[in-house]
Chains A and B, each alone.
Chain A
C-alpha cells in the first residue's frame, strides 16, 4: 500500500514546471518511484505526471542528433527504427532492461533521473556521449549524461528542473559499439560499453553498475584497451553479488569480452 499523495496531471510544459518542486516530484512509469514510495524510502507530497507533455515524448532526428524524449518507455526505444538504425547497441541494451513489464512501464528519462547504480542505460548512453536536456522556469541547459548521473540515486537535475530528452550525437565519425553485461541477480552486477570510431581508432570504454556511477576510459585503438588498468581503477561497491576483489576481477574479464565482441563483429 502506497502512502497517500496528490497527483497532478499537467498538459503543458509550463503547467508541469509550475507544479514541480522539492516535494512535488515528476512521475512517469513509476518503476523506480513507486517502489521507493512503497518501501517508505520516499514520501513526496505530489506526483507530477509528465506523461502528457508532448515535449517529453517522441523519438526523432534533429539535425545531427537522435533525440529520445524522456518519457519514452524502454520497449519503445528498443523497438524504434531510428534507434535500431543509428545506435543498435542502445536498442539491444534497452531490449534487455529489467523484464518485459519493466520495459513496458519504465521510461528512459525516469531511469536516468533515478540514477540507480545498477543500470545499463546510463552506461550505454555515456559511451555515445549522449547529452541530457533540462528545462526549468529559468530556461534550458544541456548536460552530458556522464555529468547528469552525479551519484548513486542522485542526478544533477535540480528540483525545479525537468529532464526533457536525451540527445545522441550522430554527426561525428561512424561509431561501432558493443555492450556486454554480467548479471547473476535481478539487476546487473557489471556493464561494459565500448564505442569505437573505426576511422580514428578512438575507443571509449564505459563501465557501469559495478560502482556508484559509470566510469569512462578512452583509448587510441581497440588493441590498446587495457582491461587490467580498468579493473584496477574501478571503484566497486561490494554487495551480495560480489566482493570488491571479485567485482574488480570480473570487470577485467568483461572488458576483455567486450573487446573480443567488438573485434569479432568488426572482422
Chain B
C-alpha cells in the first residue's frame, strides 16, 4: 500500500453522486471536476489559494480545488456550485446574489457562493463581521464587495428569523 504510484483508483461523492475513476497522482481537484466530470461551473484563476475562485466544499468545508490533490478526495464528499439549485429552484444564496447584484462578470461567483455556503451551513445566522472575515480570502474585481456582503447577510438574516 505504501508503494509510490502515479495512478490511483478513487471513489468520490460529487454533488450526491458516487463517482469512481482512476486518476493521476498529480491530478488536481479543479481539473478532475472541470475536465474529467465536465463540471465547469467552478473556475480557476490565481492558482495560489488567494483568489478563492476555485472554492468547492470537501466534507462541507471550503478548499481551494486548484491546490487539492484529487486523490485526497477519495472517500469524501465534494460539493460544487452546480449542486446549489435543484429542480430549477435557486438556493437562497443564489437568489440573494441575483437580487443584490452581488456579481457582474460572475467569474468569482461560484467561489463566493461556496465560501458563503460553507459559512452559513456551519454557522447559520452569521453576523456581518463574521461574514466579512470569512470572505476576506476571496477576490472580486467587479463589485466592490458591498453587494456580496449584503447578499450573504440577507440570507443569514433569514436564517436567524427562521430559527426564532
Contacts and interface: CB of A to CB of B under 8 A. Distances in A.
Interface of A: 1-11, 15-16, 18-19, 24, 30-31, 34-35, 38, 46-49, 51, 75, 98-102, 104-105, 186
Contacts of B62: 100-101, 104
Contacts of B68: 30, 105
B64 A101 contact: yes
B49 A101 contact: yes
A38 B25 contact: no
B19 interface: no
B157 interface: no
B8 A7 contact: yes
Nearest to A27: B69
A23 B62 CA distance: 31
Nearest to A30: B67
A231 to B, nearest CB: 29
Contact of A34 (B67, B119, B137): B67
Chain A contact residues: helix, strand, loop or mixed:
mixed
Contacts of B115: 100-101
21 contacts: A3-B26, A4-B6, A4-B26, A5-B25, A6-B5, A6-B6, A7-B8, A7-B25, A9-B1, A9-B71, A19-B4, A30-B67, A35-B49, A98-B49, A99-B49, A100-B118, A101-B64, A101-B115, A101-B137, A105-B49, A105-B68
Give 5 nearest A-B pairs by CB, closest first: A99-B137, A6-B4, A7-B25, A10-B2, A15-B2
A104 B114 CA distance: 14
A165 to B, nearest CB: 21
Given A2-B28, A4-B26, A34-B69, A46 B118 contact: no
B50 A18 contact: no
**Residue among B49, B62, B71, B137 with the highest chain A CB neighbour number at 10 A:** B49
Contact of A100 (B28, B67, B134): B134
A58 to B, nearest CB: 18
Contact of B2 (A16, A35, A104): A16
Interface in B111-151: 115, 118-119, 134, 136-138
B31 to A, nearest CB: 8
